[in-house]
Structure 1
Amino acid sequence: MHTSQKPIGLWSAVAMGIGAMVGAGIFALLGEASDISGSAVYVSFIIGGLIALFSGYSLGKLGARYPSSGGIIEYLIQAFGPGVFTGSMGIMMYFSAVVSLSLIAKAFGNYAITFLPKSAGDDLWRHLFSVGIIIMFVLINLRGAKDVAIWERITVGIKFIVLVILSVAGIAVLKPDLLAPSHYPPVNNIFFSLAITFFAYEGFRVITNVAEDMPNPSRTLPRAMILAIALVMMLYVAIAFAVFGNLPVAKVIAAKDFALAQAALPIFGPIGFTVVAITALVATASAINANLYAVTNVTYQMAKDGELPAEFGKPIGHSREGLIISGFLIIISLLLFDLSEIAAIGSISILFIHTVTHIGHLKLIAETGASRALVIVAIVFSVSAMILALDYVLKTADHVVSILIGFVVVAVVTEIALRIITRRELKPRV
């Protein structure tokens, strides 16, 4: 972020992307997605992965040309200039990241309480675990980027080994009739579940935020982006086969807060449940770690550009005060709000931001050297997925649309208010 060392290499960046995606995805959202698309959820994961790959190509090319800790914020500024529109988009992305981290922290709490006896105090313990993990990683991130990279390599290795073993063992003993197309829901549901499954990939964007900590971002960033998404897509599909090949959809939905651990029961027994639950704790913790690092880089860049108060960019320890402020906002969010629809809100918000970024990329394509056709495909895929997700929430939870509108309004009002309060003069970036 602001150190002179360059500790983030290819596999460290891949590990950070995987850490962010897997923790926020398969552990936290598998049950939610299966509630919509049933045993065909693997198809939704494939489609979501393809959308992420094309988005990753576009963002990777932008990051190679404009390596910056600000990631998408930098690309928006390069394409549209540092105006109210770009600032509002940046604040929207920041809010999305805060809410995403709240969701992951809640997932950590859900798995943590499986180790405690059932009691009336489960909600209290869930909150304590969720808050505690955020505080712990705020303290870890204060030590700087090198510790973040080391932690990611360790945790990603652990959860990948466990999940691969679960996938291979589950596929080896799966019951084909449970995966028969006759059990699939209507085709529309498979597409509608993109409102959940794409959110399981959205963590790949954290790789763009470590560009300044890469020795050779023009080469490393695009490769890390594609590698991380491709590996996660294969893992998600394998896990989906293992889970739904051994458990009826109803059982997965019933245990959706800890669906993967439940899936290990018929394969490995109680020991398998415990091992997967521990892995879930490691995975969600890893996602919190990677996303906190990325959010701090984004807020630092935004503060440097005058898009957030200067306090976000002030040094503290080996990080920035934005880390402390973000941690505080995440804790407030997870304590105050019901996050059951956050995946849909997050997916739609991120898809909108990605669409705008890809459109901006077309203005910069002569500088990035990207394929215009592939960037256009990224735009079409992102828009299509966003429309499908909006259609789904309109039919099932139309108040989510009101929340999304409020989300945009708050971002714009906040940006305008910051400009009035700080009275800053906007200058073109070089």
Structure 2
Amino acid sequence: MTVTAAAALGVGSMIGAGIFALIGEAGAIAGNAVWMSFIIGGFIALVSGYSLARLGVRYPAAGGIVEYLVQSYGEGLLSGTLSILLYISALVALALVAKTFGSYATKLLAVDSERWVNSLADLVIIGFVLLNLEGAKKVARLEKFVVGLKLLILVGFAVAGLTVSDPALLSSSHYPETTQVLYSLAITFFAFEGFRVITNAVEDMPDPSRTLPRAMFLAIGSVLIIYIAVSFAVFGNLDSQQVVIAKDYALAEAAKPVFGTVGFSIIAVAALISTASSINANLYAVTNVTYQLAKEGELPSVFGKPFGKSREGLIISAILIILLSHAFDLAEIASVGSISILIVHLMVHVGHLKLRHETGTPFVMIILAIVLTLGAICFSSIYAMQNSPHILWLVCGSLLTAFLAESLLRHLTGRRVQTRTPEPSG
């Protein structure tokens, strides 16, 4: 897998639900200053991506973060619990993307109902499961084409939207308080979260030390520029209240003042392509994560058994994703998923402190990643506590589920977690 193919996998994963659904959720909090939140969230992603890239080069394994956790914390209950929390977070993220696909599809087909949203979400998950069963080469080949197409549409929308935007709508006089921008950080970071799928493809890279870091920064940097441009285009054509009302399909609504109803349809189609691409990329990552977990004894061995050119974990994961998409709405999925994955990233960075001499990562960069990630967790938790306390209970439920599942699996299987690469000396 080349630099461009790996970066395309990351871009495809990030530009899915992120800009098409989460801009409405983030805009409801940060208003027309949401572009600032995307910049900060993107910076956190870049720093976090740097940490993961250094770990990925030193510990190349298909499981990515799972491997780094085991290297950092050993074969104990903590690494196992965090690994399962990562798996849960990945499933939640895919449920978000699938639900976004369903939301845009129903608007395009004029069959707006929750039943249709869920049915279309199920359909796209099943379709890409069949594709992923054909193996990594076909995944990468399709991803490069789809990423190019959706980037063309998004860039075209951003340029046209900025050309006809109303400067008054973007005026700083309409900005909310600074704390509102900070409260939205978890959501905007979640829009970048797909960058970690690049580390899961490391075993398909001929030269990871060169390919992985370049692909990571290329993917995050490209997506950051696009998110900023699209944010200005959306809030330059719609006021904050209009964005909130159409938050599940904000980009398509913002295309109306620019291109009319045809523009709405074009962006809706782009949303379908983008979310489908994101599902494709993330299913590839989830398959590798479940394989790594099963091989290390953290999930039942059935997850790691071959099935076609993929693994049975893909089938089981797809079933769980469908159940999650039926159980929760977009706002709940986004909030729980963003906080949960931030917790995993935080623990990876904390563990990286122990491994920094092995990876050659500067101490200050790891500390910066820890501080930024912890800050995003704190601000998002404060906002949830003030506005949707049940979100924190759902996050706690995810943590408890991961802990209980890990404890039960250890008791039933009696297996110990094993690393793929040599443990650090000293």
**Is the pair's TM-score, using the shorter chain for normalization, greater than 0.5?**
yes
Q: Does the 8 A contact of 1:15 with 1:152 survive in 2? A: yes
In structure 2, the residue matched to 1:5 is: none
CA distance in 2, matches of 1:398, 1:426: 35
Partner of 1:293: 284
Moved more, 141-150 or 242-251: 242-251
Give the Cα separation in 1 of the matches to 2:94 and 2:269: 19
Match of 2:371 among 377, 380, 385: 380
Which residue of the partner structure matches residue 60 of structure 2?
Answer: 67
Equivalent in the alignment of 1:90: 83
Distance in 1, Cα, partners of 2:111 & 2:43: 40
Q: CA deviation at 1:337?
A: 2.6
- Separation (CA, whole Å) in 2 of partners of 1:257 and 1:427: 42
SS at match of 1:215: coil
Q: Which stretches of structure 1, 4 residues or more, deviate above 4 A after TM superposition?
A: 425-429
Give 1:125-144 correspondences, 5 Å limit.
Answer: 125-144=116-135
**Which of the residues 275, 281, 301 maps onto 1:284?**
275
Q: Could you give the per-residue CA deviations for residues 272-312 of structure 1, whole angstroms, max 9, x where no partner exists?
A: 11111101000000000000000000000111111111001
Aligned to 1:3: none
Q: Is the 8 A contact 1:77 1:86 kept in 2?
A: yes
Counterpart of 2:300 (choices 306, 309, 321) is 309
Query: How many angstroms does 1:428 deviate by?
Result: 6.6
Distance 2:127 2:417 in 1: 37
Q: Are 2:54 and 1:76 aligned?
A: no
Q: Deviations over 1:71-127 (max 9, x none)?
A: 0000111111121110100100101111111111010000101122356xx222212
Is the contact made by 2:26 and 2:188 (CA closer than 8 Å) also made in structure 1? yes
Write the distance in 2 (CA, Å) between the matches of 1:124 and 1:214: 41
Cα distance between partner residues in 1 of 2:220 and 2:246: 27
Counterpart in the other structure of 1:102: 95
Distance 1:92 1:50 in 2: 24
1:228 correspondence with 2:240: no
User: 2:62–2:289: 8 Å Cα contact kept in structure 1?
Assistant: yes
Q: How many residues in Structure 1 have an aligned counterpart in Structure 2? A: 421
TM-score normalised to the size of structure 2? 0.97
Kindly state the Cα deviation for residue 141 of structure 1 after the two structures are TM-superposed: 0.1
For structure 1, list consecutive stretches of 5 or more residues without a partner in the other structure.
Answer: 1-7
Change in Cα spacing, 1:246 to 1:134, as seen in structure 2 (3 Å) is: same
Q: Which residue of the other structure, out of 399, 417, 424, is the alignment partner of 2:415? A: 424
The residue number in structure 1 matching 2:314 is: 323
Aligned residue number for residue 33 of structure 1: 26
Deviation (angstroms), 1:338 = 2.9
> 1:427: how far off?
5.3
Q: Distance in 2 between matches of 1:91 and 1:411?
A: 5
**Aligned AA (2:57):** A
Residue in 1 aligned with 2:10?
Answer: 17
1:339-382 per-residue CA deviation (whole Å, 9 max, x = no partner) reads: 42221211111111111101111111111111211111111111
Distance 1:118 1:138, change over 3 A: closer
CA 426–74 in structure 1, closer or farther in 2 if over 3 Å, else same:
closer
Paired residue type of 1:53: L
The verdict on how the C-alpha distance between 1:368 and 1:416 changes in structure 2, with shifts beyond 3 A counting, is same
State the identity %.
Answer: 54
